[in-house]
Amino acid sequence: MLAILATLLGNTLLYATPLTFAALGGMFSERSGVVNIGLEGMMTMGAFVAAVISIATGNPWLGLFLAGAAGGILALLHAVASVTFRADQVVSGVAINFMANGFSMFMLYKIFGGGQTPHIQTKLVKLAVPGLAKIPYFGEALFNNYPTVYLAFIFTFAAWLVLYKTPFGLRVRAVGEHPLAADTVGINVFLIRYICVIVSGVLAGIGGAAVSIGIIAEFTEVTIAGQGFIALAAMIFGKWTPWGALGACIFFGAANALDAIGQSIGMIRYVNPAFFSMLPYLLTIIALAGFIGRANAPAADGKPYDKGH
Amino acid sequence: MVSLKPNSRKILELAGVPALAIVLGLVVGAIAMVWMGYSPVQGYRGLFAGIFGDSFSFGETIRSMTPLIYTGLAVAFAFKTGLFNIGVEGQFVLGMLAGALVGAALPGLPWLIHVMLAIGAGALAGACWAAIPGLLKGKFGVHEVITTIMLNYVSLILVNFLIRNYFRVTAQEATANVAPSADLTIVALKHLTGGARVHWGILIALLFMVAIAFILYRTTLGYEVRAVGFNPMAAQYGGINVTKNIVLAMLISGAVAGAGGAVEILGVFGRMAVSPVLPGVGFDGIAVALIGNNNPFGVLFGAFLFGALKTGAIQMQYQTQVPYAIIRVVIAGIVFFVATKEMVRWLLRLKRREA
């Protein structure tokens, strides 16, 4: 039983990791007032680039790094559209998702002649924390996991530090709540939003890489399949905060892990796995409706800022 | 009421932005092709041949634009009420299942009645599914973008679950075949076009288009939903029940999407199979509505454009080896440039100054 629980815990963290990166990214973007439903596309792009680079160079870390860069470039497009040209942020996000899907599939056919990469021989390898990994059962799950899992926790802490303990974080929050007031006291609203949107793309890109070279070892059209939207859900469920987002991602990761190993655990047998897959989406809707503590978006979320008015 | 005689500048802008966006989208595709070592001239020639080249291609273009008319109308109608229904995808999927089930049950009914029942079932399923975000928005003020995105994935999982556990008839995880009495195939046209899957759904889509245009511009309901979309506060002040109109608009939007799903099953697939991914036509509907400026007749144009691009792309890959996915890049480019119409207007002004 303990062994099953330990495996479950390890898988939970593994599945939560890509979501955490992307959810933290989404949080930065939305806290600055830019809705980012392009997370899905940015994850797709990251997953694709990480896979290709790992195969081409044999270096998964370079893949991870460039996945972040690719996500950032895609996010720059979103920023240009939604910040500079005041486009509808949802429409721009839709375009980003189309673009990532189309471009990655186009390149996939060009490079590999088909709809999927070969199996990636050089994906990220598990990293044991000396000493701690020796703890019976749970040491293996918690401290002998993929490096991206540890990074997700470090990034969450860093995001909390930046958002709540630095002048920059204060500016981000001010811009997301009341851009006009922030502008009046000399904060560059456009610059802050550009930075936050690009950061969201970088993080989502890394999140995508955490799937293609972290969990599975290939990239196909269905590699991301909705995980960007689950990350968006996690961010909302976590009420636009770093620890909240992490908690939601772990919870959704657990739903995913239960789904995966469900049949082997006693009472899970009676619950259809489809239920666990639906859970993140349903809970987010319930949370938004205010049935389990109201989730309120930043006040200026989704509204383009027009300096002229 | 809206002025029925827009001035020439307005027309130029209405047509100018989408036209330039289409050109820019094709340029983006061309750049990607050059970058990857393909010839864009050859690529686009193959694309064009794949759209108009022969009667089969043209028939397939009609087939692939058909569902886009429904999804485009669904997105556009909701948009007129100020609602962004990203859930058209999910409503379409539920419509597919309902259409498949009713289409397969009740064999032997007169054709017209069976068809109407099956499409009606699809519309009902889509409307029920859309009622959830509609009520949440109307009653609790929950933003429909997030709820509809979430419901898209719930619909996919739910439909797969239902087929696997309750409605499968074969080892292949699919529902029973649609009865001949609900088949929308136009046999004569199928022969004429060398096997293209053109079906009655296109004519039904045109009926839906006229109906939606009529509701929007010739009825009190249409006036009210447009007023709510234009300015909900002012509408409320003017005595219009905003909540009621939001829910109604979502119901109608979902019904059109669901009807489209049913038509797609009755006309093309003949049964509903388990699928790992959403069909995507609902998302395409967003692009269609955007390029058509959320006008029912504009939607027809948008559906033709994107239907043609999608069909032509398959032929293009066959003839010129340019991967068909390039067309999604082109579509993304078009959506992006329509979205950033400020940028496109800026470019238009720039061009005028040069002239």
Contacts of B41 (CB under 8 A, 6+ apart): none
Contact flag A98-B332 (C-beta cutoff 8 Å) = yes
CB-based contact B167:B174 (threshold 8 Å)? no
Which 79-138 residues of chain A touch chain B by CB within 8 A? Answer: 80-81, 85-88, 90-92, 94-99, 101-103, 105-110
| pLDDT value of position A255 | 81
Strand, coil or helix: B155: helix
Mean pLDDT of B104-132: 95
- DSSP code at position B267: I
Contact flag A232-B146 (C-beta cutoff 8 Å) = yes
| Mean pLDDT of all residues belonging to chain B | 89
From B84's Cα to the closest Cα of chain A, the distance in A is 9
A110 contacts in B (CB within 8 Å)? 36, 323
3-state secondary structure chain A: CHHHHHHHHHHHHHHHHHHHHHHHHHHHHHHCCCCCCCHHHHHHHHHHHHHHHHHHHCCHHHHHHHHHHHHHHHHHHHHHHHHHCCCCHHHHHHHHHHHHHHHHHHHHHHHHCCCECCCCCCCCCCEECCCHHHCCCHHHHHHEECHHHHHHHHHHHHHHHHHHHCHHHHHHHHHHHCHHHHHHCCCCHHHHHHHHHHHHHHHHHHHHHHHHHHHCCCCECCCCCCHHHHHHHHHHHCCCCHHHHHHHHHHHHHHHHHHHHHHHCCHHHHCCHHHHHHHHHHHHHHHHHCCCCCCCCCCCCCCCCCCCC
Contacts of B191 (CB under 8 A, 6+ apart): none
Other Cβ atoms closer than 10 A to B350: 10
Searching chain B, which residue's CA lies closest to the CA of residue A291?
B140
CB-based contact A74:A201 (threshold 8 Å)? yes
Contact flag A95-B142 (C-beta cutoff 8 Å) = no
Q: A89-128 as b/e, with b when 16 or more CB fall inside 10 Å?
A: bbbbbbbbbbbbbbbbbbbbbbeeeeeebeebebbbeeee
Is the Cβ of A37 closer than 8 Å to some Cβ of chain B? yes
| C-alpha A177: how far from chain center | 23
pLDDT range class, residue A287, cuts 50, 70, 90: confident
Q: Determine the Cα–Cα distance for residues A217 and A205; give it in Å rounded to an integer.
A: 16
| pLDDT per position as a tens digit, A127-144 | 877 777 778 777 777 888
pLDDT range class, residue B140, cuts 50, 70, 90: confident
Calculate ∠ Cα A150-A156-A161, nearest 5°.
Answer: 130
Q: Nearest CA to B301 among B3, B65, B38, B39?
A: B65
CB-based contact B266:B204 (threshold 8 Å)? no
Is the Cβ of A227 closer than 8 Å to some Cβ of chain B? no
B142: nearest CB among A274, A278, A288 = A288
Contact flag B150-A229 (C-beta cutoff 8 Å) = yes
| C-alpha A91: how far from chain center | 20
Is residue A299 pLDDT above 70, yes or no? yes
| pLDDT value of position A187 | 93
How far CA B184 is from CA of B28, B102, B266, in Å, comes to: 38, 14, 6
Strand, coil or helix: B185: strand
Tell me how long chain B is. Answer: 355
Is residue A285 pLDDT above 60, yes or no? yes
How far CA A150 is from CA of A13, A14, A60, B211, in Å, comes to: 9, 10, 16, 57
| pLDDT per position as a tens digit, B217-257 | 999 999 999 999 888 889 999 899 999 999 999 999 999 99
Searching chain A, which residue's CA lies closest to the CA of residue B145?
A90
Q: Any idea which of A183-192, B1-10, B249-258, B320-329 has the lowest mean pLDDT? A: B1-10
| pLDDT value of position B1 | 42
Domain ranges, ordered by start, for chain A: 2-226
CB-based contact B263:B96 (threshold 8 Å)? no
Q: Any idea which of A206-215, A292-301, B48-57 has the lowest mean pLDDT? A: A292-301
Is residue B6 pLDDT above 80, yes or no? no
- DSSP code at position B175: P
Substitution target in B139, B149, B163 with the highest count of A β-carbons within 10 Å is B149
B260, two tokens: 């489209």
Contact flag B340-A80 (C-beta cutoff 8 Å) = yes
Backbone angles phi, psi at B174, to 5 degrees: -145, 160
Sign of CA dihedral B1, B4, B5, B11: positive
Contact flag A226-B86 (C-beta cutoff 8 Å) = no
pTM for the full model?
0.89
Which residues are bridge partners to A144 per DSSP?
Answer: A128
SS3 content of chain B, % helix, strand, coil (to 5): 75, 0, 20
A105: nearest CB among B149, B325, B331 = B325
Other Cβ atoms closer than 10 A to B165: 10
Strand, coil or helix: B108: coil
From B34's Cα to the closest Cα of chain A, the distance in A is 12
B290: nearest CB among A91, A107, A232 = A91
Mean pLDDT of B127-149: 91
Is the Cβ of B124 closer than 8 Å to some Cβ of chain A? no
Is residue A51 pLDDT above 50, yes or no? yes
Is the Cβ of B287 closer than 8 Å to some Cβ of chain A? yes
Mean pLDDT of A151-159: 96
CB-based contact A197:A35 (threshold 8 Å)? no
| pLDDT per position as a tens digit, B70-81 | 999 999 999 999
Strand, coil or helix: B292: coil
| pLDDT per position as a tens digit, B47-61 | 998 888 888 888 999
pLDDT range class, residue A286, cuts 50, 70, 90: confident
Range from A55-59, A180-184, A251-255, B70-74 that averages highest in pLDDT: B70-74
A229 contacts in B (CB within 8 Å)? 149-150, 152-153
Is residue A19 pLDDT above 50, yes or no? yes
A88, two tokens: 């509808």
Backbone angles phi, psi at B38, to 5 degrees: -100, 160
Mean pLDDT of B119-135: 97
H-helix or E-strand containing B62? helix B55-80
| pLDDT value of position B3 | 47
Q: How many CA atoms lie within 13 A of A275 on its CB side?
A: 7
B153: nearest CB among A226, A236, A288 = A226
Backbone angles phi, psi at A128, to 5 degrees: -90, 130
Q: Determine the Cα–Cα distance for residues B298 and A14; give it in Å rounded to an integer.
A: 47
**Long-range CB contacts (< 8 A, 24+ apart) of A153-158?**
A153/A246, A155/A20, A155/A21, A155/A24, A155/A203, A156/A20, A156/A24, A156/A242, A156/A243, A156/A245, A156/A246, A157/A242
| pLDDT value of position B189 | 80
* Token pair 């859900």 in the structure block, residue: A233
Backbone angles phi, psi at B273, to 5 degrees: -110, 155
Widest pairwise Cα distance in chain B: 67
Q: Any idea which of A254-263, B173-182, B309-318 has the lowest mean pLDDT? A: A254-263
Is residue A266 pLDDT above 80, yes or no? no
Quote the crossing angle between the two packed helices A39-57 and A60-79, to the nearest 10°.
Answer: 150
